[in-house]
Amino acid sequence: MTRPILALAAQVVLAILVALLFGASWQAIVTGSTSAAGAEAARLLFLFMDVGLAVWAVILVVLTVRRRTLPGVGATVLAAVVGVVLNALTVLVVGTLQGEGAVLFLGFALEAGIAFVLAVLLSAPIIHRLFRPRVKP
């Protein structure tokens, strides 16, 4: 069971790092400032995508424990999309309850969510190749 847990940890870390890289690249293009791009990407990912990251991680943990192996690439990406959708709904509800910032907050959440899904699309196949089950002769 150690190998699937290591694969799960590697999947989570790599996806977050790649999402930060995508977010920072996008922020550098949009703002023209490379010095603040990394901090803004981290702010968007961890402040406006926190629920989605948690939902994604919980789904992966549950699937890994039940199957005793890391879920496939399709299940990993589907879990990321579910996390992004639930996160967007949460941000929309919280933004609406707080007042006028719902649309702005939803834009931030969708920006972070897109970077995250792209990161999972890129990182999931890499992790699945690296942690492919061993075939016994």
Q: Where are the domains of the chain?
A: 2-130
Answer yes or no: is pLDDT of 35 > 90: no
Residue 101 is classified by DSSP as: T
Q: For tokens 């075939």, what's the residue?
A: 135
Note the pLDDT tens digit of each residue in 91-133. 999 988 888 778 889 999 999 999 999 999 999 999 999 988 7
CA dihedral 101, 46, 81, 89 (to 10 degrees): -30
What predicted TM-score, i.e. pTM, was given to this entire model? 0.91
Answer yes or no: is pLDDT of 136 > 80: no
Between 3 and 80, where is the model more confident?
A: 80
**Average model confidence (pLDDT) across the chain:** 92
The pLDDT assigned to 89 comes to 95
Query: What is the C-alpha separation between 23 and 7, in angstroms, rounded?
Result: 24
Query: What is the C-alpha separation between 66 and 59, in angstroms, rounded?
Result: 11
Q: For tokens 């992790």, what's the residue?
A: 127
Averaged pLDDT for residues 28-41:
90
Lowest mean pLDDT among 13-22, 80-89, 101-110: 101-110
Helix (H, G, I), strand (E, B) or coil at 68: coil
Burial of 43 from C-beta contacts in 10 A (0-12 / 13-18 / 19+)? middle
134, two tokens: 């061993």
Beta carbons within 10 angstroms of residue 104's beta carbon: 10
Confidence of residue 51 (pLDDT cuts 50, 70, 90): very high
Alpha helices, H only, the chain:
2-31, 37-48, 50-67, 73-98, 102-130
Query: What is the C-alpha separation between 35 and 13, in angstroms, rounded?
Result: 23
The pLDDT assigned to 137 comes to 67
